[in-house]
Amino acid sequence: MRRSCAMNAPFPPDLRPELHRRVLDWYADHARVLPWREPGCSPWGVLVSEVMLQQTPVARVLPQWEAWTARWPTPSDLAADAPGEAVRMWNRLGYPRRALRLHAAAVAIRDEHGGQVPDDHAALLALPGIGAYTAAAVASFAFGQRHAVVDTNVRRVHARAVTGDAEPAAALTAAENRLAVALLPDDEATAARWAVAVMELGALVCTARAPRCDDCPLLERCAWVLAGRPPHTGPARRGQAWAGTDRQVRGRLLAVLRESPDPVTAEGLAACWADAGQRDRCLDGLVADGLVEPLDDGRFALPRT
């Protein structure tokens, strides 16, 4: 049974300042230098980074973010280009529908917000393809606002340090959201820095596998450590397979289209995967997702409109 965060929590409200001090001091000394965290980074650069970083490691995102923001330094620059160019530029980051979502958001920012990423949380949330996490992250990291920014890393830190669980629940719960809000510093600027600091702690120290507890600023106060580091009792987390899956086939098909300056024939696509049934099913899925456009002459292209 999962413990309530109200039970034996080592960080009751009156100890929040200690929690904040420990994590923020650690962040000041250990934060990675990343371009989207630099003071001169635009809100658009922050938005691009947040979409790219979903389910993708920083090391893979860095070169793509730099190439993307060099080619499209503003939302209007991207909106003026075809959505297929966003898919092409996405390269091998994975989950390429994110490229289409970014393009759709850029069009909305150009048409509805004068080309400027809105600083209002509700307006961010209303952008196409922007969910609760991304809206909160951009409002916090780009505009210094006070929002609970809850990703997998943050959930893991909260689960261990506060509720004493080895891992958070399989999906974000209302209780986790309430806890994240309750832990926010009252001051907007401090809350914004806290949001990124907890995320960094989860990424670098309080990792899913082999957490570096001895390096953690919360070691002496961590409920999980104080409980003897009990193992995770929920369902086992399974890694995603790749070889032979539809995801691999879709990636191969998109790679052919990205690398060709011209539309590709069905025969050209057939060469990338031997199983015709699986290949055709995946191609149909890419068309349905808007990632591939079938042309009247039987060829296929990245989306043009």
Q: Write the CA distances from 89 to 125, 183, 284, integer angstroms.
A: 25, 38, 22
- Distance, in Å, from the CA atom of 48 to the CA atom of 98, rounded to the nearest integer, reads 10
- Distance, in Å, from the CA atom of 225 to the CA atom of 208, rounded to the nearest integer, reads 15
- Distance, in Å, from the CA atom of 59 to the CA atom of 163, rounded to the nearest integer, reads 31
CA 217 to chain CA centroid, Å, is: 25
Active site residues: 50
Return contacts of 70-73, CB within 8 angstroms, 24+ apart. Answer: 72/106, 73/42, 73/44
- Distance, in Å, from the CA atom of 29 to the CA atom of 200, rounded to the nearest integer, reads 12
Quick one: CA dihedral 146, 31, 69, 287, positive or negative? negative
Contact indicator for 96, 87 with CB cutoff of 8 Å: yes
- Distance, in Å, from the CA atom of 167 to the CA atom of 176, rounded to the nearest integer, reads 12
* 106: its two tokens: 């850029």
Contact indicator for 167, 154 with CB cutoff of 8 Å: no
